Amino acid sequence: MDWFVKAFVKASVAWLAVGVILGMSMAIVPAWTVYRAMHVHVMLLGFVTMFINGVAYHVVPRLSGRPLWSIPAARWHWWLANAGLCVMVAGFWLRASGLASGTIVLSTGGTITTIGALVFVLQVWRTVDAPLSVRAAAPLVPLQSLRRSG
Ligand code: HEM
Ligand code: HEM
């Protein structure tokens, strides 16, 4: 498993832990459902999306027979997705607490998250569009050992 696949899968389950604890807390204390948007985005952008991202980074090159377009872009994507979601969580929390600063914080986090998602779009697009590499189709070859064929 490549390090960036592992990093996305680990981040995903870490967000799952945060999300279920928050969900459980909202179930126990109904007044805390003001934090519903936080729970929703931790679950969907954190757990669900990051798990899909990690699995996609593993399977897309192997299914398409093409090396990943850019490993540095995968690193950027991980940092933007996680930093963006942390800032979004802070923004949702500030908004739920009735603080006007929540909007600017949420917009900042949302913009960072969006840039990260667009990096992923570019990554998958360029990967499947690249010339075919027979070596990339080998199922257990670490992607770092592959070179682009042109
Ligand atoms: C331990 C597990 C979970 C608990 C205890 C829990 C609890 C809750 C609670 C209390 C609410 C607020 C409901 C309300 O406003 O009345 C909620 C909303 C929501 N949860 Fe969870 N949740 C859990 C897991 C998940 C998971 C795994 C996902 C998605 C992957 C998820 C997605 C959502 C969504 C999308 C909403 C918003 C629903 C809406 O706006 O109608 N939850 N959850
Ligand atoms: C840049 C990324 C995103 C930003 C900035 C963002 C922002 C927001 C905002 C401001 C709301 C309204 C929350 C409120 O009512 O207080 C919202 C609601 C919601 N968003 Fe997102 N969102 C993003 C991505 C996503 C993604 C990727 C999903 C699903 C995979 C999603 C699912 C939802 C759902 C289900 C709601 C309704 C929540 C509810 O009513 O409880 N969002 N989002």
- The domain locations on the chain are 3-131
Over residues 138-148, the pLDDT tens digits come to 555 566 666 66
Q: Which stretches of the chain score pLDDT less than 70?
A: 133-150
Separation of CA 43 and ligand 1 centre (Å): 8
pLDDT at 135: 58
pLDDT at 91: 98
Pocket (CB within 6 angstroms of ligand 1): 20, 23-24, 26-27, 33, 36, 39-40, 43-44, 47-48
- CB neighbours of residue 56 within 10 Å: 17
pLDDT at 58: 96
Question: Which protein residue's CA is at the shortest distance from atom 8 of ligand 1?
Answer: 23
Half-sphere exposure of 144 (CA within 13 A, CB side): 7
